[in-house]
Amino acid sequence: MIKELLKSLREYKKLALLSPLLVFGETLLEVLIPFTTAELIDTISRGAELFQIVQTGLVLMLFALISLSFGTAAGITTANAAAGFGKNLRHDMFANIQTFSFATLDNFSTPTLVTRLTTDATNVQTSFMMILRIGFRAPIMITIALVMSFVMVGPLAWMYVFIMVPLALGLFLCIWRALPGFRIAFKKYDALNESIEENIKGIRVVKSYVREKFETSKFMHASHNINRYFTDAEKILALNGPMLNLAVSAFSVAIVYFVSKAIIQTQGIQINVGQFSTMFTFGFMILMNLMMFSMIFTMIAMSIESCYRIQEVLEAKTTIHNPEHPVQEVEDGSIDFDHVTFSYSETAERVALKDIDLHIAPGETVGIIGGTGSAKSSLVQLIPRLYDVNKGAVRVGGIDVRDYDVEALRSAVAMVLQKNVLFSGTIAENLRWGNEDATDDQVIEAARLAQADEFIEAFDEGYNTWIEQGGANVSGGQKQRLCIARALLKKPKILILDDSTSAVDTKTDARIREAFRTYLPETTKIIIAQRTGSVEDADRILVMDNGKIVDSGTHDELLEKSPIYREVYTSQNKQSHDERMAKKNGDQ
């Protein structure tokens, strides 16, 4: 795990390596100060001259200044290394998420990815900074202080060890007991973020149904869970303070008793006043650094779970891979489903598509009708290889989609979904997602064909009108037409519309279909719709039910032979159907 995370250091590796060296220099000089002070006290007790005192004082000042310089430099390098590490860590996670296939994304919810990119990354960054600074400083300080103590007072320095060992053991046990609580608490962050995201996205529904109190209660429940688990873990870690205070008190009593006894019994021969002062100083240095070490362990305990969660994102691999020698160009828009069977996961109980055998010629317009859950969207998602089939093969331009370069394949396919997504930026910037090099005239033409030019020009800023996140400041129908214009700019070999005109009126829908015929005559067009009027002029209409194509034909043919299509049509066009049938019977 550590090896995986440290890959994100990259250009900050030198700073991360330099920081401990600077900390070592700072710590070494800090330890030399009490040692030199002890020598000064002994010199004064022997009747030193003023010159010697001033000389030693200047040495102490020099040590302090150099130590301060090392500490300042260490602070700068540590801050830069930790901030850079956090930046790279977030970048690496986000970059890897961009490579995920839909199957991989299905293993992570949106709230958990947000938490890992924000809260978890911040926890790891903070821990890394503390390790570089305090994590190296504390053990170096403790080690040097112990060595210097043994040099100065001999066996009496063992009292430090007798106090440190039980204290260190107690700190370790506290952290070990607190870890499960932190592990659960960070998982609860996902539920909290999910509550926030769901509420904000659906705020209009919440207000229209007057459910503010219910949503607040749900949020407070998620927040309470985090509070409860964090409180339980922090209660355990709160024992660190009392344990440290006990150690300090025990140390003070022990050093006063044993050192005073040694001074009195040996009349200052075994240990003198300067050594006595140094032992106090070193002792408090050791205990204070143990306390700082416990703070690091606390932060590490909180971030260990964050490390594992980040590692999951970094190590997750897409299920969609390019072949060794991928095909770089799609010849035409022909589509072939060769006995395709598909399910969304290997463990899924339900098969989404069953033995689909379908052949679509280049430039053909195919409509797809079917009830909710009939797998219409599942079918078209296999064409740009958003998912891979379980059995059989999907071919585009006569070549298995698994043999294409993924980017080349998807560049030849444009999808307009029912749940259209617009991004923060101007209308023109959103449309140029289809073709970033499109001229202003091309952008305007695409908007005109998608029947979007009229409402765009009604805005004060026209094509420079700012679109809020998710297209919150435009209606559903306007959003759909903008997304259709974006797809038209791409000029794809295959155009897929997944119920993407559901929010526009039938007259506008007809105009958009006419634009497809004139603007993209050679493009293969697949139109998924709930309204039969959106597909009745297609070259062929597929009727899907329970993951199978149960009927196929033109509008008139399906009215005669398909009960499902006829039922949908008559329920939507009952009056006109009755008139048509009456006229037909009259002619007979």
- 3-class SS at 292? helix
Tokens of 376: 């219409």
Angstrom distance (rounded) from CA 194 to CA 226: 14
Give the contacts of 39 (CB within 8 A, at least 6 positions apart): 56, 274
Are 458 and 401 within 8 A, CB to CB?
no
Q: Which of 199-203, 427-431, 491-495 has the lowest mean pLDDT?
A: 199-203
Angstrom distance (rounded) from CA 90 to CA 323: 29
Give the contacts of 373 (CB within 8 A, at least 6 positions apart): 546
How much is the pTM?
0.74
Mean pLDDT of 10-37: 86
- 3-class SS at 360? strand
Label residue 145 by pLDDT band (50, 70, 90). Answer: confident
Give the contacts of 539 (CB within 8 A, at least 6 positions apart): 364, 365, 366, 554
Angstrom distance (rounded) from CA 497 to CA 535: 11
Give the contacts of 573 (CB within 8 A, at least 6 positions apart): 532, 533
Statement: residue 409 has pLDDT above 90: yes
Percentage of the residues of the chain whose pLDDT score is greater than 70: 88
Mean pLDDT of 381-386: 93
Angstrom distance (rounded) from CA 390 to CA 222: 39
User: Which residue in this structure is represented by tokens 């044993």?
Assistant: 258
Angstrom distance (rounded) from CA 509 to CA 512: 5
Statement: residue 268 has pLDDT above 60: no
Q: Residue 358 belongs to what H/E stretch? A: strand 353-360
Supply the pLDDT for residue 276: 66
Of the two residues 579 and 469, the one the predictor is more confident about is: 469
Measured at the alpha carbon of residue 192, what is the angle toward residues 302 and 479, in degrees to the nearest 5? 130
User: Model confidence over 76-93: pLDDT tens digits?
Assistant: 999 999 999 999 999 999
Kindly write down the DSSP assignment for every residue of 149-208, as one continuous string. HHHHHGGGGHHHHHHHHHHHHHHHHHHHHHHHHHHHHHHHHHHHHHHHHHHHHTHHHHHH
- 3-class SS at 539? coil
Mean pLDDT of 452-469: 89
